[in-house]
Structure 1
Amino acid sequence: MTWARQYIDAIVQRDVSELAEIANLAKMPRFLRALAQTAGQMCNYTQLGAQLGLDGKTVSRYIGIFEQLYLLKRIDVWAPNRLSRVVKTPKLQFLDSGLLAALVDLSSGEIAHNRTRFGNLLESFVYAELLKHSSTADGDYRLLYYRDADKFEVDVVIENAAGHILGIDVKASASVNAADLRGLRKLASMAGKQFKLGVLLYDGTETLPLGGGIWAAPLATLWGEQRK
């Protein structure tokens, strides 16, 4: 994808160099591609740096630069104990799903056949859309994620100023099964009365009640629409 390479080069040569002094700008495109491989996952700075010949502090600094350019965002984990949110590993999400697809070499043809890789891209897209909605909504909202030691996970946890939460999971499939709800149900049990709603966004056409304050809803509901 020629346009993507040109765009990345422009970011590095112009935008990054204006924000910070980087000893070796030539390493930044490779670093950005490495970050793209961790999109939607917890990012261990030390492990990532070891693969690129960088220390953990440098990795964190470089990520901060890309955050200032609104290319990606670090997401804190949701936990009942607020101190735990600070010390646990953040997750990375890219804010431009088109750029992310280019960085991981995901073509439109592969999207149709590799649903796992498409699922990671779709999660980033949904996160970016929710971030837009939260930034223009009335009130103060934080976008977090949930993951515990037993690997129960929820893609996005929206928390308001009162501590009430809404959990959102994303699935690149037109069907829903019980296993898809394990993360949302665990989050509901951990949050107790603070849990107000769980939504599984999927590639289907129906809005379905799944019990316990959890619903399956078409992805189109992100824009207030539903397929006919």
Structure 2
Amino acid sequence: MWFADYTATYLERDVRQILELRDLAAFHRFLRMCAARTGQLVNLSQLAADCGITHNTAKSWLSVLEASFLVFLLPPWHRNLGKRLVKTPKLYFLDVGLAAWLAGQRSEEAIALGPMRGPLFETWVVSETIKTLRNRLLPHELFFYRDAHGREIDLILEVDGAPRLALECKAGETPAGDWFAPLARLAGEIGAGSTAVVFGGNSDQPRESVPAISWRRLPDLLAKAME
């Protein structure tokens, strides 16, 4: 009920005035399509086509959502600053509850057993990282990394131009053996200072190379990385 009211009063009324919307149904469809794509690369052409709007309209609407702190565009990490600015970012909602509601996830069971479980967990990790670092006024930049073979690091915390922490997000409650080696290898390639897998379990699982950190201890992990 709260998310329905929030969508009606803020997203559909206030944002509608900012954008001078004529087609509210198209905008609501755009919101739901964005939520369904949380944690994915931004493809404005595909997003526009799915919503029946132009590429420029999709770009304008997404810019307003970003300026309203509803979504965050996570840029790709690259040693060349120019390439960071032109490569495709990933889209994340800053309120994972709103993302779940807009994506049609109405219960704990739907999230726990459905295909949105992983993207929503990753969205939570990214959004809570952003909030934690900004609330503590800690200087940082956040990125993701994808190499030429499609291998990826979900989140990189960069401080003073150097990758301080590389994180992988896993919704599973029990660590799997294949979670760790790919992250360690990619983190080594970019020179990350430390690594960790943030997972859905309630207690940490120590490992020799890459630790598995409970989602409950994400603030502690970030604080240690910033020391």
TM value normalised by structure 2: 0.87
Unaligned runs of 5+ in 1: none
Q: How many residues align?
A: 219
Deviation at 1:35, TM superposition (A): 0.5
Corresponding residue of 2:76: 77
Tell me, yes or no, if structure 1 residue 111 matches structure 2 residue 107: no
Which shifted more, 86-95 or 154-163? 154-163
Cα RMSD, aligned residues only: 2.0
Corresponding residue of 1:155: 154
| Residue 33 to residue 218, structure 1, CA distance change in 2 (3 Å) | same
Counterpart of 1:220 in structure 2: which amino acid? R
**Could you tell me the percent identity over the aligned residues?**
30
Residues 137-181 of structure 1 show CA distances to partners (whole Å, capped at 9, x for unaligned) of 354201111122312112111111232331111111122234212
Unaligned runs of 5+ in 2: 222-227
Cα distance in 2, alignment partners of residues 152 and 210 from structure 1: 22
| Residue 68 to residue 202, structure 1, CA distance change in 2 (3 Å) | same
Contact 1:39 1:94 in 2 (8 A): yes
Counterpart of 1:206 in structure 2: which amino acid? D
Contact 1:36 1:94 in 2 (8 A): yes
Residues 4-43 of structure 1 show CA distances to partners (whole Å, capped at 9, x for unaligned) of 3332122234320343323423321111001011100001
Corresponding residue of 1:206: 204
Tell me, yes or no, if structure 1 residue 91 matches structure 2 residue 90: yes
Extract structure 1 runs of 4+ deviating beyond 6 A: none
| Residue 223 to residue 86, structure 1, CA distance change in 2 (3 Å) | closer
TM value normalised by structure 1: 0.87
Corresponding residue of 1:176: 175
Aligned with 1:159: secondary structure? strand
- Give the alignment partner of residue 215 of structure 2, picking from 211, 219, 222: 219
Counterpart of 1:217 in structure 2: which amino acid? I
Tell me, yes or no, if structure 1 residue 29 matches structure 2 residue 28: yes
Cα distance in 2, alignment partners of residues 81 and 39 from structure 1: 26
Aligned with 1:208: secondary structure? coil
| Residue 83 to residue 183, structure 1, CA distance change in 2 (3 Å) | farther
| Residue 98 to residue 83, structure 1, CA distance change in 2 (3 Å) | same
Cα distance in 1, alignment partners of residues 39 and 132 from structure 2: 19
Deviation at 1:182, TM superposition (A): 4.7
